Amino acid sequence: MEELKRKIREEGIVLPGNVLKVDSFLNHQIDPELAMAMGREIARRFGGAAVDRVLTVEASGIAIGLAAAYALHVPLVFAKKSKSVLMTEGAYTAAVYSYTKKTENQISVLKRFLPAGESVLIVDDFLANGEAALGMASLVRQAGSRTAGIAVAVDKAFQAGHDRLLADGYRLESLAVIDSLDGGTVHFRE
Amino acid sequence: MEELKRKIREEGIVLPGNVLKVDSFLNHQIDPELAMAMGREIARRFGGAAVDRVLTVEASGIAIGLAAAYALHVPLVFAKKSKSVLMTEGAYTAAVYSYTKKTENQISVLKRFLPAGESVLIVDDFLANGEAALGMASLVRQAGSRTAGIAVAVDKAFQAGHDRLLADGYRLESLAVIDSLDGGTVHFRE
């Protein structure tokens, strides 16, 4: 998606350790026009796939998840990372390791909000090692539903996640695929 | 806002301890049509106020914050509750006590994303004791900007937040104002 790539070129900051900061428009400050356009693009790519629901994970997946769900005219559910004291009912849970924060989180969704027999589109802002996406796919499987596909904004395809998701047979749609950050420059896959 | 009140009447669940669960459309599962309509209504109410930026707090403020920012054609910034290892630059911080989770959080926004001299609209899904809203107003003040107002979806006006914000002189716009949850029923203010 050209608009996203241009924004990454203009505002992305490459840091040591293969870190790409896009916090000026994607995961701290958010450009609402771009977020909604990304949602429309995801809906276009999955338009024929009869998606029943969008699943993302808090916090930075919520904006792009909402945009995709709005464009697809389906509900959004976001998995939670901490257990609220209100969350006393049954929930599906999965363990997700965050390489950025160096912690393992449990992500969970109330069973009520992941019915069986649905086709669920997983949406997230970033794909790096694939932990979050695979955790969400596990929630969908536990619910007795199927993953229609996985849509991400920024796919750091030189890390393990891209190949893991494809090897597991998921349909992966990435709005910007990055092959390397060598030399502090973003190299997109054409 | 009638559409929101109807949804609360139909799907809201009142629990002991003055808890109103609206997790089927507002803060776990999200109804995207309703979220975007709430954003448009907030933009309508603050349309003449020359808002430069919307500020919310992760996670459940992000959806309504995005919707409001999109309708107002301004950037969204969401305050973070945990410090990412990436967040090494200067940030504004404020302490916020969560009565639901019984923990005190630091909320923070990178200084880059709260410039001085702006008019900032604070948006959140819930108003109860006002801790989150007052914490965000503190961030705005630290930045040398002013709070244009505070917009919330569900205002539990029988708790302390509503009166605290008005006593402090903030313009408060609530899409649904609740006077009590007595008898397990939602009583709206007319």
| ipTM value | 0.95
User: Tens digit of pLDDT for each residue in A70-83?
Assistant: 999 999 999 998 76
User: How close is the nearest chain B Cα to the Cα of A76, in Å?
Assistant: 5
User: Tens digit of pLDDT for each residue in A134-179?
Assistant: 999 999 999 999 999 999 999 999 999 999 999 999 999 999 999 9
**B101 half-sphere exposure, CB direction, 13 A CA radius:** 12
Tell me whether residue B121 is in a domain.
yes
pLDDT at B84: 58
- Distance, in Å, from the CA atom of B58 to the CA atom of B63, rounded to the nearest integer, reads 9
Asked if the C-beta of A110 comes within 8 angstroms of chain B's C-beta atoms, the answer is: yes
Predicted TM-score (pTM) of the model is 0.96
pLDDT at B88: 65
Asked if the C-beta of B52 comes within 8 angstroms of chain A's C-beta atoms, the answer is: no
Residue A124 has pLDDT above 60, yes or no: yes
Confidence bin at A88 (pLDDT 50/70/90) = low
How many domains would you assign to chain B?
A: 1
Contact A78 B69 (CB under 8 A): no
Q: What angle do CA A4, A10, A15 make, to 5 degrees?
A: 100
Confidence bin at A47 (pLDDT 50/70/90) = confident
- Positive or negative: CA dihedral A174, A176, A180, A184: negative
Tell me whether residue B4 is in a domain.
no
Domain that holds residue A132: 35-179
pLDDT at B86: 53
Tell me whether residue A9 is in a domain.
no
User: How close is the nearest chain B Cα to the Cα of A167, in Å?
Assistant: 30
Buried residues in A101-121 as b, exposed as e (16+ CB within 10 A): eeeebebbbbeebbeeebbbb
Tell me whether residue A126 is in a domain.
yes
* Percentages of chain A per state (helix, strand, coil), in multiples of 5: 35, 35, 30
Tell me whether residue B1 is in a domain.
no
pLDDT at A102: 84
Residue in chain A closest to B53 (alpha carbons) equals A29
- Distance, in Å, from the CA atom of A118 to the CA atom of B146, rounded to the nearest integer, reads 46
Mean pLDDT score, A56-74:
97
Contact B63 A86 (CB under 8 A): no
Size of interface A-B (CB pairs under 8 A): 115
Mean pLDDT score, A48-57:
94
pLDDT at A82: 76
Tell me whether residue A7 is in a domain.
no
Tell me whether residue B152 is in a domain.
yes
Mean pLDDT score, B160-168:
98
Residue A86 has pLDDT above 60, yes or no: no
Asked if the C-beta of A99 comes within 8 angstroms of chain B's C-beta atoms, the answer is: no
Residue in chain B closest to A55 (alpha carbons) equals B29
Contact at 8 Å (CB) between A60 and A89?
Answer: no
Interface mutation vs chain A, best among B7, B70, B77, B80, most A CBs within 10 Å: B70
Structure tokens at A87: 């969350």
Q: Which residue has the higher pLDDT, A1 or B48?
A: A1
Confidence bin at A99 (pLDDT 50/70/90) = confident
- Distance, in Å, from the CA atom of A154 to the CA atom of B36, rounded to the nearest integer, reads 24
- Distance, in Å, from the CA atom of A8 to the CA atom of A20, rounded to the nearest integer, reads 9
Residue B101 has pLDDT above 80, yes or no: no
Confidence bin at B168 (pLDDT 50/70/90) = very high
CATH of the domain at A44: 3.40.50.2020
User: How close is the nearest chain A Cα to the Cα of B168, in Å?
Assistant: 27
Interface mutation vs chain B, best among A24, A28, A31, A73, most B CBs within 10 Å: A28
- Distance, in Å, from the CA atom of A103 to the CA atom of A97, rounded to the nearest integer, reads 6
Contact A63 B62 (CB under 8 A): yes
Confidence bin at B77 (pLDDT 50/70/90) = very high
Tell me whether residue A119 is in a domain.
yes
Using an 8 Å CB-CB cutoff, list chain B residues near A31.
75
Residue A98 has pLDDT above 90, yes or no: no
What proportion of chain B, given as a percentage, has pLDDT over 70? 97
Residue in A139, A124, A131, A118 with CA at minimum distance from that of residue A164:
A131
Residue in A42, A128, A78, A24 with CA at minimum distance from that of residue B76:
A24
